[in-house]
C-alpha cells in the first residue's frame, strides 16, 4: 500500500522554481531517505507535504486520501507528523510539557479552559512513555532551556512520535550533533516500529544510509535519481551532483 504519494508538485519563490514537478511514492512502512545538496528543495518539499506551504501545481495523497487542499493542522489529525531542521520547541516550558502539547494537539481536551492540565495524569504518563522511547524520561521535568542541543533533537522526535503518526517526516535529525549524540538519535530512530512510514532528509550520508530502504536524490527542485541504496550510490549522476564531476 502507498502511504504517501506526491505527483507533479511545483512551487516557486518569485522566479525561482524550488520544487519542479516532483513525483514521490513511498510505500507503507518504508524508510525513505531524501538527499541533495544545499538549496535542492528538500525542506520546501516537506513544507509542501505538511501544508505549511501551498503548491502551485500537483497533488499530495496520504493513504489514498487527497490532502492537497487540506489545511496544515488537519493533516496532523490525519496522521502526518514532522520534526524541524531548525529546532522549533517551546523554550519556556519543561520537556514534559513540550510533549504534552504534542499530545494535546490531537485531543479534544485542548479546548478545555476549566480543568487543570497538571491533573491530567494519563496525558503526563503518555508523555513520559514517549520520552522513555528516546531515552529522556529521567530528565522529563527539566526546563527546556537547560537541555543540550542533542537532547532537544530527541525531544523533537519524541513529540512527533507521541502523536502516533502513520507518516513521520524527519528534517535532518542528525544536524549539529556530536558522534555520541548521533548514536543516541540513531537508536531512537531504529526503534520506531514498521507501522510508521518514515521520510527523512539528511545531509550526512554516513549516518543515514543504513537506515534507508530507498533513496531519492533531489537537485534544483527535481528528482534526479531514485532507487535502492546500492543503485543510488552507484549511479554516476549521484557523483555528478555531489562531486561536480
Partner 1 sequence: MKGRSAASAGFGMLLGLATVPFWVGNSYYVDVASQILLFAVFALALNVLVGYGGLVSLGHAGLFAVSGYTAGLMLQAGFGHGAAAAGAVLVTLLASAVFAVLSLRSTGIGFLMITLALGQILWGIAYRWADLTNGDNGVSISTRPSPFGISLASAPSLYYATLVVFLVALAVMAAFERSPFGASLRGARDQARRMTALGYNVWLIRFLAFLFSGFWCSIAGLLYLYNKQFISPQVSALQASAEVLLMVISGGTATLLGPVAGATIVVITKYVVSAYVVRWNLVLGIIFVAIISFMPEGLVPGSVRIWGFAQRRWLARRATRKSLPGAPS
Q: Which residues contact partner 1 by CB under 8 A?
A: 50, 52, 72-74, 76-77, 81-82, 84, 88-92, 97, 100-102, 104-106, 109-118, 120, 159, 163
For residue 207, the minimal CB distance to partner 1 (Å) is 25
Residue 112 or 228: the one with the smaller Cβ distance to partner 1 is: 112
Q: Torsion angle, CA of 83/46/107/120, rounded to 10 degrees?
A: 10
HSE-CB at 222 with a 13 A cutoff on CA atoms is 7
The minimum distance between CB 116 and partner 1, in angstroms, equals 5
Question: Which residue in the block uniquely carries the three cell numbers 525561482?
Answer: 16
Give the nearer residue to partner 1 in terms of CB position, either 107 or 178: 107
Q: Which helix (H) or strand (E) is 188 found in, with range?
A: helix 179-190
Q: How far is CA 74 from the centre of its chain?
A: 16
How far apart CA 98 and CA 11 sit, in angstroms, is 32
The least CB distance from residue 108 to partner 1, in Å, is: 10
CB of 191 to partner 1, least distance (A): 22
Q: How near is the Cβ of 169 to partner 1 at its closest, in Å?
A: 10
Q: Which of 6, 169, 24, 183 is nearest to 84 (CA)?
A: 169
Q: How many CA atoms lie within 13 A of 74 on its CB side?
A: 8
Whose Cβ is closer to partner 1: residue 124's or residue 207's? 124
Residues forming beta bridges with residue 13, ordered by sequence position: 16
> How many whole angstroms separate alpha carbon 216 and alpha carbon 223?
7
Amino acid at each position: 500500500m502507498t502511504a504517501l504519494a506526491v505527483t507533479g508538485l511545483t512551487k516557486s519563490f518569485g522566479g525561482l522554481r524550488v520544487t519542479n514537478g516532483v513525483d514521490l511514492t513511498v510505500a507503507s512502512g518504508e524508510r525513505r531517505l531524501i538527499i541533495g545538496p544545499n538549496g535542492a528543495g528538500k525542506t520546501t518539499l516537506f513544507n509542501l507535504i505538511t501544508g505549511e506551504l501551498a503548491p502551485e501545481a500537483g497533488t499530495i495523497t496520504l493513504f489514498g486520501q487527497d490532502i492537497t487542499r487540506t489545511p496544515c493542522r488537519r493533516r496532523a489529525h490525519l496522521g502526518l507528523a514532522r520534526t524541524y531542521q531548525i529546532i522549533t520547541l517551546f523554550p519556556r516550558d519543561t520537556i514534559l510539557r513540550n510533549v504534552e502539547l504534542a499530545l494535546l494537539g490531537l485531543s479534544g481536551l485542548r479546548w478545555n479552559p476549566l480543568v487543570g492540565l497538571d491533573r491530567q495524569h494519563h496525558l503526563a504518563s503518555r508523555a513520559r512513555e514517549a520520552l522513555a522511547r528516546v531515552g529522556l524520561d529521567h530528565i522529563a521535568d527539566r526546563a527546556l532551556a537547560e537541555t543540550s542541543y542533542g537532547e532537544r533533537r530527541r525531544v523533537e522526535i519524541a513529540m512527533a512520535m507521541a502523536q502516533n503518526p502513520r507518516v513521520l517526516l524527519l528534517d535532518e535529525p542528525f544536524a549539529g550533533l556530536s558522534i555520541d549524540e548521533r548514536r543516541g538519535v540513531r537508536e531512537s530512530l531504529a526503534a520506531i516500529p514498521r507501522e510508521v512510514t518514515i521520510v527523512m532528509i539528511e545531509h550526512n550520508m554516513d549516518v543515514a544510509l543504513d537506515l534507508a530502504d530507498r533513496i531519492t536524490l533531489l537537485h534544483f527542485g527535481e528528482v534526479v535519481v531514485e532507487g535502492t541504496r546500492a543503485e543510488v550510490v552507484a549511479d554516476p549522476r549521484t557523483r555528478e551532483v555531489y562531486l561536480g564531476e
